[in-house]
Structure 1
Amino acid sequence: MYSSTLTLGAPLAKRLVEDPPNYEGPSGLGWILAADFIVFLPIFLITAYTLTHVYPTLAAVEDPLPAYEALPIDDDGTPKPNDEPAHTAQPGQPITASLRATNRLIRSLGGWLANFRGFGYYFLVNLAVIIATGIISTPFFVPSSVGHLLALLGTAPLSTTWTHVVITAPSTKSFSSRIPPVNKVYLATWFPTFLFWAAIQASVILPTLLAYAIGLNLQTGETPSGSDAGKALAVAGLSLGIQAIFVIPAHAALARVQASLLPADEDPLVPFDRSFAGRVEPEIITGKGFATFGAAIKTIPRASWIRIYLLRIKVFFVTMAAFSVFGLVLAAEILIAAAITGNKN
């Protein structure tokens, strides 16, 4: 390969010298598109990273504050008699029930740039998963889906540390020093990680099988018929259903199990019951010190499930709105550029 490249390179270089291409640089539309990319890039990163990964993780970890019975007290500060009625104090609204409240919480950690907290680590973790998948799958002829599972399991300490980074206040500790004990991470997260992987696989494989079964034809260049639109809706509905029933709960459970491995000297940004309603005892008592998948799922009340799903819906509409605005701006610029070019001609 190296020698053939050199052989072809010599005549190509000679041709470029004798007949250089006529290139005048980017057109006006090219500069506009470059400016659009620069302006909208932070918005795309916020929608693709912060809203899609950070917010749902905080929502999964957050536990509702319990109501408590207020003790009746006289004006002088002394307790009232026992026959006096007591009032039950209700907890406030969870932080992640509101996108604005969640945004205020994150921005309080470091301004607008705090929206990208943990992004570099997230990129490195996913890069490690991709590389590990290739290393496992290619030389050993392992199916890529199985290689992906093994890569997720192998990089569990890294993904757990990323979860700790995004659910806690900024720390001066390095990423490597925040990695929990590896043996505890594997014991705690292998089963939730497997279920999360299985749910994602199901959300892709089952809709694909349904598309083949009902004869959905969406080949490029062919005009879809009315029946194809109905079939596409059925496939999309199945995919969304699997996401709602399996993927989102699996992610919530995995995030909560990872949060249970948070060191005792670090506090989450949102209310979090480390005891999981008494299901998890301190490590000094049992030697375990982390939540199981069952404990993570069972300690999410109905109100929290509603909050988690509503957050996902809000994120979806915000993302669609952002891409719609970008599309409208881009279309307007293209039309204006075409009109100017037409007038010049």
Structure 2
Amino acid sequence: MTGVHGQVLGHVVRRSVEAYSDQKAQEDMNQFFAQHQLPGWAVAGIALYAIFFAVALASIRYTIGDVIATLMMVETPKTETITTISEPAKSADPDAPLEKEDYLLDTETVTIRHEPVTKTGRSTMRHMVKHAGSFSRWRGLSVSFVYHLCVGAVLSLVPRHQPLLQGAVSTLATVMFSRIHMTWTHVLISMPSEKTWFRRMPSRKMQRNVLLPSAVYAAAQQLTIYMPMLLAVVLGLHRVNHQQLVHEFTKADRVVYAVKLGACLLTAAFVALTVLLPASVTLTRIEASMLPEEDEALVPFDRTFDGKVVPAIVGGTGCVSFVDAWRTVDRKVRFRIVKIYAQLFTMQTIIVILGMIGLAAFAVGIKHIQSGH
């Protein structure tokens, strides 16, 4: 459901713990402020500025990358079948033979497929606000925070210089807290409930159905992260520092460096589209197939997945299978999901650029004020 950025909160928790325990990082920060002699109001302004843009980025990521994308993954557009019955036209010729009383009726059947609610991000947002309230764009935020806090807390116990161990522990933590993740999905795709999310947690028996999909999803996340990192090591990018790039590299060297960096980014994008996206959609749809009957879905949603779900009461698993969860996704839906993630990436990039420009302007303003004194 959450894609590459889905573990942002967990990553923040892990890095915060590491930064707090890193004495060298604290000394470097203190040395920076001592050298520049920034006044207290300037430090407070920079902190508030950073917090503002961090909150803006997190809000956009959550609304688009989690809430809207999840609804797109599970929606089944409504279809209506209209049958019209018409009598054969009577002849105006008075000498025409009399028609039999049991004449055949002309019937015509037309199937109408309505436009999906999640056709665009804007239409999805309007639907959410209309049926779930103005704060629906942040629905499920509390359970999301708890889930990523739990995963991040487990990962914070692993040394950051052991990436393979971190990947294995991340996969294990994702599987461990899969019940909370499934609860998060149920909260996102259902109408507002008077029950707290803790009371809506599925049983441990239901959790068994998502252990494998959760492990595959977590492994896909790690593959998306470490494949481009491995390629960067093979290409020697890890040996290049800022000093070399700015002062020692020629124009040709910088072009080669940019090509290698672009190859790493393309590798990440390719793995995300071909491995991570199917794993994320599959996990979300399996979790959605186990939405309790008493919970009303926020968007049109076929709980049977074209008849693929066999209820547990008749001996089935009560959820869609791993393979059918992906096969039952329409190509148009897949395209919309890719499109919404591309929009999210573009919006976040623009915000980061604007934030850096604003921070630079703020720094120039402080410098001018200090030089004026």
**Is the structural similarity TM-score above 0.5?**
yes
| Aligned-partner Cα distance in 1 for 2:81–2:111 | 4
Deviations 1:293-328 (A, max 9, x none): 112111101111111111111211222223233333
Residue of structure 2 equivalent to 1:70: 82
| Aligned-partner Cα distance in 2 for 1:64–1:276 | 12
Do the aligned partners of residues 44 and 283 (structure 1) sit closer, same or farther apart at CA in structure 2, a change above 3 Å counting?
A: same
Matched to 1:331, the amino acid is A
Would you say 1:212 and 2:226 are equivalent positions? Answer: no
Unpaired segments ≥5 residues, structure 2: 1-36, 87-103
CA apart distance, 1:143: 2.5
Residue of structure 2 equivalent to 1:174: 196
- Indicate which of 256, 264, 276 corresponds to 1:227: 256
% of aligned pairs identical?
27
Do the aligned partners of residues 25 and 327 (structure 1) sit closer, same or farther apart at CA in structure 2, a change above 3 Å counting?
A: closer
TM-score (norm 2): 0.74
Do the aligned partners of residues 147 and 333 (structure 1) sit closer, same or farther apart at CA in structure 2, a change above 3 Å counting?
A: closer
| Aligned-partner Cα distance in 2 for 1:95–1:319 | 24
Residue of structure 2 equivalent to 1:299: 328
Would you say 1:248 and 2:263 are equivalent positions? Answer: no
User: Could you say what secondary structure the match of 2:114 adopts?
Assistant: coil
Any residues of structure 2 matched to 1:300-339 within 5 Å, and which?
Answer: 300-339=329-368
| Aligned-partner Cα distance in 2 for 1:49–1:102 | 14
CA apart distance, 1:339: 3.7
- Contact 2:228 2:268 (C-alpha < 8 Å) held by counterparts: yes
Would you say 1:26 and 2:49 are equivalent positions? Answer: no
| Aligned-partner Cα distance in 2 for 1:263–1:286 | 17
- Contact 2:121 2:340 (C-alpha < 8 Å) held by counterparts: yes
Do the aligned partners of residues 313 and 222 (structure 1) sit closer, same or farther apart at CA in structure 2, a change above 3 Å counting?
A: same
Residue of structure 2 equivalent to 1:20: none
User: Could you say what secondary structure the match of 1:273 adopts?
Assistant: coil
| Aligned-partner Cα distance in 2 for 1:90–1:106 | 21
Bigger CA drift: 37-46 or 115-124?
37-46
Would you say 1:128 and 2:176 are equivalent positions? Answer: no
Bigger CA drift: 294-303 or 39-48?
39-48
Residue of structure 1 equivalent to 2:224: 203
Bigger CA drift: 250-259 or 285-294?
285-294
Bigger CA drift: 107-116 or 48-57?
107-116
Unpaired segments ≥5 residues, structure 1: 1-22, 75-80
Matched to 1:71, the amino acid is T
Residue of structure 1 equivalent to 2:213: 192
| Aligned-partner Cα distance in 2 for 1:168–1:209 | 40
User: Could you say what secondary structure the match of 1:177 adopts?
Assistant: coil
Matched to 2:60, the amino acid is T
TM-score (norm 1): 0.80
Matched to 1:208, the amino acid is M
Deviations 1:106-153 (A, max 9, x none): 333564433222112111111212334466999xxx923222222211
Do the aligned partners of residues 114 and 37 (structure 1) sit closer, same or farther apart at CA in structure 2, a change above 3 Å counting?
A: farther
CA apart distance, 1:204: 2.0
Do the aligned partners of residues 319 and 241 (structure 1) sit closer, same or farther apart at CA in structure 2, a change above 3 Å counting?
A: same
- Contact 1:97 1:311 (C-alpha < 8 Å) held by counterparts: no
Matched to 2:61, the amino acid is A
| Aligned-partner Cα distance in 2 for 1:71–1:111 | 37
- Indicate which of 265, 269, 283 corresponds to 1:236: 265
Do the aligned partners of residues 24 and 190 (structure 1) sit closer, same or farther apart at CA in structure 2, a change above 3 Å counting?
A: closer
Matched to 1:90, the amino acid is R
Residue of structure 2 equivalent to 1:9: none
Superposed CA RMSD in Å reads 2.7
CA apart distance, 1:284: 2.0
- Contact 1:158 1:179 (C-alpha < 8 Å) held by counterparts: yes
Residue of structure 2 equivalent to 1:90: 113
Residue of structure 2 equivalent to 1:15: none
Would you say 1:280 and 2:280 are equivalent positions? Answer: no
